[in-house]
Amino acid sequence: MNSLFLYEGKAKKVFQYTDNTVMIFFKDDATAGNRAKEAVFKGKGELNASISAKLFEHLHKYSIDTHFIELNGKREHHCHQLNIIPIEVVVRNRAAGTFSKRYSVETGTTLRNVVVEWCLKDDALADPPICDDAIVALGITDVVTLNNMRATSISVNNILTQLFRRVGLQLVDFKLEFGLNEEGKLLLADEICPDTMRLWNNQNESFDKDLFRNDSGDLLAGYRKVEELLINTL
């Protein structure tokens, strides 16, 4: 089937097919701090495509509806085309990253409840946090959809926390994106991989993009370990 180039982001390229599906190509590029830091890790695209495919397939077993159809080759996802809601949903189990900085909380502090945050997906504004009322006031989406996004994000957190616990990793936090299909149904979109989550072992060592953000170790080795653990478990 012929495809048409649609969009290139920081870590992915998207091509459109004629049947309301898209092909998402996972790049080797890594960026952090809204492009303040950039590098290329040969093989990262394949690892993220593989890990993300496994996680979407795992979520399907628990009836979480996602855009993912199948892995194409080694680094492409064939997915349903959606209208992406420009909100990044961040789910947190432990304090880290911007949460630690914003509230001056020590990294790793256990949170008494799961925290779900919304950020506006807008690179020019550096993805600012946004509250429910502002999202609805600006016409970004409605309250029912927001509630559905929140409930689904909490379910995803429960499922993935359990899965990673089984392989000896802690799911510290992660980012999700959602979209609506042509019938207006809400589906989980984008990717779920070590670029978009924090995963620590029991010594609180990172297996995710913090290896690059903080220059604290070998990014590809970390991502390979996550893939290997999932292959051996799923």
Burial of 232 (0-12, 13-18, 19+ CB in 10 A): exposed
Q: Which amino acid is at 223?
A: Y
3-class state of residue 68 by DSSP: strand
Cα 116 to Cα 45: distance, rounded to the nearest angstrom: 27
Q: 165 to 194, contacts with ligand UDP by CB under 6 A?
A: 173-175
x-or-dash string of contact with ligand UDP, 111-150, rule CB under 6 A: ----------------x-----------------------
Whose Cβ is closer to ligand UDP: residue 197's or residue 219's?
A: 197
Query: Residue 196 interacts with ligand UDP (CB under 6 A)?
Result: yes
Residues 6+ apart with CB under 8 A from 193: 47, 48, 51, 52, 55, 223
| Exposure of 88 in the CB half-sphere (CA atoms within 13 A) | 18
3-class state of residue 61 by DSSP: helix
In whole angstroms, the minimum distance from the beta carbon of 176 to ligand UDP comes to 9
Query: Residue 44 interacts with ligand UDP (CB under 6 A)?
Result: no
Q: CA triplet 57, 132, 147: central angle to 5 degrees?
A: 40
Query: Residue 163 interacts with ligand UDP (CB under 6 A)?
Result: no
In whole angstroms, the minimum distance from the beta carbon of 127 to ligand UDP comes to 5
In whole angstroms, the minimum distance from the beta carbon of 89 to ligand UDP comes to 9
With contacts defined by CB under 6 A, how many residues of the chain interact with ligand UDP? 14
Residue among 209, 222, 223, 229 that touches ligand UDP (CB under 6 A):
209
